Amino acid sequence: MTTGNDIKDDWAGDAQNASPDGEFVRDTNYINDRITAEAPAGEPTEQPDGTFHWPVEAGRYRLVAARACPWAHRAVIVRRLMGLEDVISLGLTGPTHDNRSWTFDLDPGEVDPVLEIPRLQGAYLNRFPDYPRGITVPAIVEESSRKVVTNDYPSLVRDMITQWREHHRAGAPDLWPAEHVEEMEELNEWLFTEVNNGVYRCGFAGSQDAYDAAYDRLWAALDKLEERLSTRRYLVGDHITETDIRLFTTLVRHDPVYHGHFKTARNKITEMPNLWGYLRELFQLPGFGDTTDFTEIKQHYYIVHTEINPTRIVPKGPDLSGFATPHGREALGGQPFAEGTTLPGAMPAGEELKNPEPFQA
């Protein structure tokens, strides 16, 4: 997600622009440094392409996220599933912001207690004094220098899975299984263009024709996923993978936000039996539902997107208690994670949801 002067809010750190026909176009430019297991200890090393590789080092970095943002939510889920809570600290911004930056208004004194800055913008400017783009979450920040390392959310999440293995908890799942990599990469790209970004093409369409085309394209993809999940428990293989996390963070926001706010209102996910059962199963697992704050999700979209919701009124509904009902997905075989894998333990103190629904308490 990004914020910045003359840039619409778009969740992933990408400027929102419109093509001549009103279609939403996402600018995907990031600070694409990486944290890798091969990088030598010490200072980051420059690569031939001009980026830097930073060393894997426990206690060196802080993940800054917003519970409202689907892209940041992916990083929070993966950090929890991998058991990296004691290795990479977590800073959480509030759900709303001004045109300058995400702010740490949930913390005492409205200052991040580790980075000691009131705005995420400070970490970007500490490294790039003339940083020209929006201030985005998720971001990895080096704690000692208070400088942003990367905001490239696809590689940031992938590297938590593949590069931080020596720090994973015992029994952490394999979310990037080698035997399914090719299928996952193909499906991930399709999910991004058709679903994750598809809801935004609907919400920020600049013309009726652009909206109609985006709407039809989104629902064609969701219908395809409904059919796919009628015969398989998860998107790829017999267990949860990173691909499922990519879909979850969009699906869980659909009925509370996208259905009304982004006008994706053909029907709700609760009315699609396979997607709804799939979503409930994931939500009921540690790492998924216990990192989902519906209050902050609704506050952000409905308050910040004033071009869509000028009154800034946040809806009270919908009723979300169905998330706690049995999902019945066991009938399709498989299990969430492979043999020998364990679920993460209790949420670390201080990271609990500030606004849990009654069925989450």
Residue 164 assigned as binding residue? no
The two beta strands, 52-55 and 34-36, are parallel
Q: Cβ(105)–Cβ(99) under 8 Å? A: no
Q: What token pair was written down for 74?
A: 């992916």
Residue at 165: amino acid letter: R
Q: Give the residue numbers annotated as catalytic, written as ranges.
A: 69, 200
Amino acid at 42: G
On the 0-12 / 13-18 / 19+ scale of CB atoms within 10 A, 179 is: exposed
List the beta bridge partners of residue 90: 63
How many of the other CB atoms lie within 10 Å of CB of 267? 12
Let me know the angle formed at the C-alpha of 275 by 269 and 279, rounded to the nearest 5 degrees: 90
- Nearest Cα neighbor of 127 from 49, 65, 54 is 54
Written as one string, the DSSP assignment of 197-218 is THHHHHHT-SSHHHHHHHHHHH
Residue 180 tokens, joined: 């399914």
Q: Which residues are annotated as a binding site for glutathione?
A: 102
